[in-house]
Structure 1
Amino acid sequence: MPSPANRLAQFSESVIRGMTRLANSCGAINLSQGFPDFEPPEALLSALETATRGPYHQYAVTWGAPGFRQALAKKINRNTGLEIDPDQHLVVTCGSTEAMMVAMMTACNPGDKVIVFSPFYENYAADAILSGAEPIYVTLNAPDFGYDSDELAKAFEQNPKAIIVCNPSNPTGKVFTPNELQEILDLAEKHDAYVITDEPYEHIVYQPHVHTYAASLPGAFERVITCNSLSKTYSITGWRLGYVLASAEVIAQARKVHDFLTVGAAAPLQEAAIAGLELPDSYYIELQQAYTRKRDIFLGYLRQTGLPFTEPQGAYYVMVDISSLGFATDTEAAEWFAREIGVAGVPGSSFFREPEHRFIRFHFAKKEETLHAAGKKLLALSKRA
C-alpha cells in the first residue's frame, strides 16, 4: 500500500472537536467547541424558511450569490467606511475556515514563510502546512498576551510572505489595538508581506476595548486580506458562511482557489443570511451586551474557584491557568474536568507552539442557565484544592 502524504504527519486531528466528542460521551457541559446552545435571530429563521421554498436549490454564482454580496458590502461599508464593490472585492466561502485556506493559498507559494502568533487558533498551523508554507512563530506572552516588538521585527527580517492576525483573538480574547495593527502593517509594508486577518468575533468586544478593522487603516486595503464569517455574529456556526475581502487583484486570484476547493457556499443559506446582514445597529449593541453578561457570569464562578485566568477583551473564550491543580499535563487536566467535574474545555497546549501546559480554554457562548450550571460544577474544584 502507498503511504499518505508526508505533510499530514505534521498535524493531528482537531483537539477542539475531539473534546466535543469526549463531552458528548460522558455527558459533560461542552465549553470546548465554540458554538452556542441558543437560536439565531428570528429574522434569520424566518428568512431560512422562505429560502427553502424559493428557487435557490442549485448552484449560486461561484464567488457568492449577488444579493448576499451586495448586502455584505453594505454592512462592511457601515462598519469600516470602506467603499466595497461586491463584484470586485469579495468571495463568499464555506465559513472562515475555507476563507483562511483560500487566503493562504492565494498569498503563499510552497516554501514561503508565514508569521503566526502563538497561541493561535489550531487551524492556522495546519493551513500553513497544507499550503506548503513554513510558520514563523511569535509569542503572545501570558497573562496579557501581548507581543514583543523586537521579536516581531526579527520575525519579519526572515522575509515572510504574510502574517496571520486573529482579532479579536481565539484562544486568548486579546483585542489588537490600532497602534499594534499599525506596527504590524508598517513592518508588512517594509518587508512587502500580506497581512491576513481573521475577524469572526468583530462584534463580540468588551468595553472599553474597540475592534479595529486592519483593512480600514490608511493605505492598508491593498495589503490586507480579511477573512471573516457570519457564524459567531448571528449564532449560525452550522451554516458555514464566510468570506474573503481584499483588493480586486487579490480577489481575482482567490476566486480561482475557492472555485476548485468547494465551488460555492450553500445557495439557500446565502439568501436567508441576507436578513442577518440587514439587521439594524441595535442588534449588534444588544449582542455585545448579551455576551458581556455571559462573560461576567462565567468569570464570576472562575473567581470563586481561585484559579487564575486572563479576562478576555473580545471573543468568547477564557484561558484558565490550571497549573496549581497538580496535573502532569493540560490534556490530563482537560479530560479530568470533562469526566469528573462535568465541564469540558480544551487543553491549551493545542494552541501553543511552545511546550505550554498551564492552560485550559473554556468558552461562554451559552445560555445563561447553562453557564450557571457549568459554574456550579466548577465550584467543586475547591474540594480538590
Structure 2
Amino acid sequence: MSEALEQALAEALASLVAAVDTCEEDVLDPDTAVKWLEGSAYILDRLAPADRRRLAGLFRAAALREPAGPWRDDLLKVGDGFGLDEDQHELYCDAVESAVRRFVEAVRTADPAAPVPSCPGWTFADLTRHHGTTHRWITHLVEHRVSERVWPREVRLDVPDDVGEYPDWLAAAAEESLRALRSADPETPMWSPGADQHVRFYARRLLFEAVVHLADAELALGRAPRVEACAAADGIEEFLENLPFFVPVADRVAELGRDGGFGQQGASLRLCATDTGAAWTVVLGGEGGFRWENTARDAAGRAPVEAGSGEAGRGDAAVTVAGPAGELLLLVYGRREAGGAEFTVRGDRVVLDAWLAATVL
C-alpha cells in the first residue's frame, strides 16, 4: 500500500468516526452509532502494536491538516477513542530507541575523524559525543526532577578517552536516559529548556535530537535521510514551539520584524508539506518576535480563509516553501537548502532566507 493511500484511508476513517461520534441523536440513533464504533474498535484492537502506533500517527497527521477549531479537536480525539495512543510518552521513547540504534549503526564503522558537513567544524566523533552528552544530561535532569537550569558541563559524563568507544558509550547513555524517562510520570512538573515544563518534554525533545543527528550522519556517509512524515510534522511544531526559548535565536528572530532589522514586521512565510497536506504559517513581529499557526492549505498552497484578517495563517504568505514533511524538517534545522530540488519556493525568497539564517541553532 502506498503512503498516499494509507494517509487517504486514515483521513477518511478519522473523519467518519468523528462525524458519527458527534452526530446529534435526532440525526443518528445512538445505539447504531455505538454499534458502528464498537465494530471498528474491535477490528483496530487486533492490529499489532507497531501498526496501532502507525495508525495513531496518521490520525494525528490528518487532524493537524485542519485549521484550529472544534473539528480539528474532534479529529485529535479519534486515536485516543480507539486506545491507539494511550501512552504518547512511551511512543516517543520507543521512537528515540529506534533512532539512536540506527545512529549507532551508522557511526560505528565511520572514521571518527571524518567531517560531518551539515555540522560545520564537527567530526563523527564530535557528533557522537554531543549526542551522548545530551542523553547523559537529560538522565540527570529527569532523575533529579530539577527545578532550575543545570548545564551539561555540570553533569558527570564519563566520556571514554578512546573516540572509537564513543558509539558504545552513546548506546549506553541512551539506555540510561530511556530508563529514566520510562520510569517517570510524564506529567511530573520540572524545569525544561523549552515550552513544556514537564518530564514529557524530554522524550519528545530527544526524538528530534536523534532524528536530526541521524540525518547528519547519513548525509556525511552519502546516504539520503528519510524522516517519516508524521514524525516530521510533529518535529516542525516542536521546533516552532520551543524556538522562543532558545535565547540567541529568539533575539535574532525578533530583530527580523523590527525597524532596522529585516524591516518587514508582519511579513509571513508558509511551510507546506506536499505529502501530508499540513502547513505552518509564521508571521514576523509582535511579542516574542513571531507567531505561528498550523494551517490547512488549498491546492495552490494558500490558507482558505478571509483576506485581510491579519491572523497568523490567514491569507497569502509573503513566501511559501513546499516539499515533503521530512525534507521540511531538515530545512528548518538547516540540513537542507531552500533552493534544493526537494522544494518549490514561491514569493519573496528574501523573507525565507532571512528566517532560515536567523533560526540556525
Q: Shorter-chain-normalised TM-score: which range?
A: under 0.3
Please state which structure has a larger fraction of its residues in helix.
2
Q: Which has the larger radius of gyration?
A: 2
Q: TM-score, normalised by structure 2?
A: 0.27
Q: Kindly indicate which of the two structures has a greater share of residues assigned to strand.
A: 1
Q: Relative CO higher for 1 or 2, CA cutoff 8 Å, sep ≥ 6?
A: 1
The two structures have a TM-score, normalised by structure 1, of 0.26
